[in-house]
Amino acid sequence: MRVFALAAGIILILLGIAGFAKMLAIAAVYGVILIVVGALFALYGVTHRSPMIPRATTGRDLRNM
């Protein structure tokens, strides 16, 4: 999922740059929005945070019920 987010972010950033530079027929505001959304996707794709819930242990745990 993170690889998809990274790839989508890069694509959106490139589309936003092309739109902002008038290579695509979109408004400059939409180009900036694509760049911002692409940056958010790319940031999500490159972060390496641990999961919020740790993996289950081998001992008795109420989460394994």
15-63 tens-digit pLDDT: 999 998 889 899 989 999 999 999 999 999 888 766 656 666 666 666 6
Distance, CA of 3 to CA of 13 (rounded, Å): 15
Domain ranges of the chain: 2-47
DSSP state of 31: H
- Exposed/middle/buried for 41, CB within 10 Å: 0-12, 13-18, 19+? buried
pTM, 2 dp: 0.70
